[in-house]
Amino acid sequence: MDQSEKDLAAFQTRVRQMILRFNELKQENKDLYAMVEENEQQIAQLKAKLDRQERDYQTLKMARMLEISDGDLEGAKERLAGLIRSVNKCIAVLSDEK
């Protein structure tokens, strides 16, 4: 085997190695993109769950403020009247700013 045949064989070997490495990297890239997509879906689900939990918390907080226990009807009415007064004050302040 002369030098040019050795060089050609070495070149062919290097090309095959590069093709194999390219295929490995292509598969790794595909796997990483799938992982990113999966993580993005999980993040979206968790954000939706967090939003639901925050709405539920606000609802429970409001229900707790309006909760009427045995014989506490007057207290509940006073709390509700206080909330109404606060809203009216806010509306008045906002009206004055315009």
Distance CA 3, CA 47 (A): 65
Distance CA 26, CA 64 (A): 56
Is pLDDT of 35 > 70?
A: yes
Percent helix / strand / coil, the chain, rounded to 5? 90, 0, 10
Higher pLDDT, 62 or 81: 81
pLDDT tens, 62-80? 877 766 555 567 777 788 8
CB 76 within 8 Å of CB 67: yes
Is pLDDT of 56 > 70?
A: yes
State residue 27's pLDDT score: 98
State residue 20's pLDDT score: 97
Backbone Cα Rg of the chain: 35
Q: Tell me which residue has tokens 């993580």.
A: 39
State residue 67's pLDDT score: 64
Is pLDDT of 38 > 60?
A: yes
Distance CA 77, CA 4 (A): 100
Share of the chain above pLDDT 90, in %: 54
Cα angle for residues 6, 8, 14 (degrees, 5° grid): 105
Whether pTM > 0.75 for this model: the answer is: no
- Look at 10-14, 34-38, 68-72 and tell me which has the smallest mean pLDDT: 68-72
